[in-house]
Structure 1
């Protein structure tokens, strides 16, 4: 177990390694991208591009190491359809490799009317459940998972994501003063473990600022954070 005093340095090092990995894998890209909120973002994180065995294995290592460093306690994993399904499975495998063997489950989008039936697959949902997902934009997917977990009689306890964009969420087409992650923490009372945050991306870009192209990315991402970012 990582002590509380060591969590900061471990998390920071892990976050920088993850950002570098995401950039080198082409998962984290720079340019102009329209978000679900209609904003023009200077960067885009597409976890669907962790699309081969080596990348998925490394990604699972980052999730597992971040969870261990966070100190969050949980009894099982839940991967919401669809991206959460391979995430939940591979993270469960990596946690077992690290000596923490926990059950995992996932859901179908459509109920199965034959065989075992239902929408849930895997271990029965019980105890403190940790949801594994890639990012949180509006928190909609998180609320759906929470409802499923509670309906099964279990406790939605925490969420693990790859990247916290640290930006204002939108409600009814308008910006609000909190992010989706902050909403989950404050309003739903759940812990959130993010491998990296937008602040970590900015530190990565600043460290590589000797490259004019990288420096330009840093300026654009910083301007975006100043316009849409939330206070920690």
Structure 2
């Protein structure tokens, strides 16, 4: 992976990596919204040092290419904790040392107390997570960051599903990422989106993966934004 890969090249490299790692899988999966999706993305499967390190590299390079300015990283419990730590290590390796913090789900009543752990939450804060499915986790993170007297400035995610959100059982015309961008006024930076996944499936020499291109295209035609 070159240090100066363009976002589209980076996105294609990321999708290929996620498929090879088994993090992006194909078949029939029920989403939180109750849809039958022909693919799934489970960031919890970036479960060894090599995979997590490469994932952090993709996040860091995507962030640097985006030009987004931030003072520190915040990782919402639980998946965001590992991501925030890994990405801050990679950013430091690339010459951009940033503090990071995360929350614990339960307030602690001894020791340092409170729900926030790590560096003091201040300045422009970037939230890092795997995906945005409903925006609930982002809203909770915003509340914690603001309560600490800091300013949330953006969200970095691995995959943008680019599909219509479902609010209270009703299908929206907008995606969860569009909701976060427009309603919560935050910049969302994704390493890759459903369009990148489709491009990969339509051009890959991986016959097992390419066999799912039509199903993913049909899903996008039905639920895509």
Provide the TM-score with structure 1 as the length reference.
0.93
Describe the superposition over 1:146-186 as per-residue Cα deviations: whole angstroms up to 9, x where unpaired: 11001111001100000000000011101000011001111
Q: How far apart, CA to CA, are the structure 2 residues paired with 1:180 and 1:215? A: 27
- Decide which of 110, 114, 139 is 1:118's aligned counterpart: 114
The 3-state SS of whatever aligns with 1:178 is: strand
- Decide which of 197, 213, 220 is 1:218's aligned counterpart: 213
- Decide which of 197, 202, 219 is 1:201's aligned counterpart: 197
Q: Structure 2: which 5+ runs fail to align?
A: none
Match of residue 34 from structure 2:
38
Residue 64 in structure 1 maps to residue 65 in structure 2: no
Match of residue 85 from structure 1:
81
Match of residue 18 from structure 2:
22
Q: How far apart, CA to CA, are the structure 1 residues paired with 2:97 and 2:45? A: 27
Q: How far apart, CA to CA, are the structure 1 residues paired with 2:172 and 2:59? A: 29
- After the TM superposition, which segments of 4 or more aligned residues of structure 1 sit over 4 Å from their partners? none
Provide the TM-score with structure 2 as the length reference.
0.96
Q: How far apart, CA to CA, are the structure 2 residues paired with 1:214 and 1:21? A: 12
Q: How far apart, CA to CA, are the structure 2 residues paired with 1:141 and 1:91? A: 19
Q: How far apart, CA to CA, are the structure 1 residues paired with 2:206 and 2:157? A: 30
Q: How far apart, CA to CA, are the structure 1 residues paired with 2:203 and 2:79? A: 31
- Decide which of 161, 164, 175 is 2:157's aligned counterpart: 161
Residues 214 and 49 of structure 1, relative CA distance in 2, 3 Å threshold: closer
CA drift of 1:208 comes to 2.0
Residues 64 and 145 of structure 1, relative CA distance in 2, 3 Å threshold: same
Match of residue 134 from structure 1:
130
Residue 151 in structure 1 maps to residue 138 in structure 2: no
Q: How far apart, CA to CA, are the structure 2 residues paired with 1:176 and 1:205? A: 27
Describe the superposition over 1:94-124 as per-residue Cα deviations: whole angstroms up to 9, x where unpaired: 0001000111000000001000000000111
Q: How far apart, CA to CA, are the structure 1 residues paired with 2:213 and 2:73? A: 35
Q: Structure 1: which 5+ runs fail to align?
A: 1-6
- Decide which of 184, 187, 194 is 1:188's aligned counterpart: 184
Q: Number of residue pairs matched? A: 222
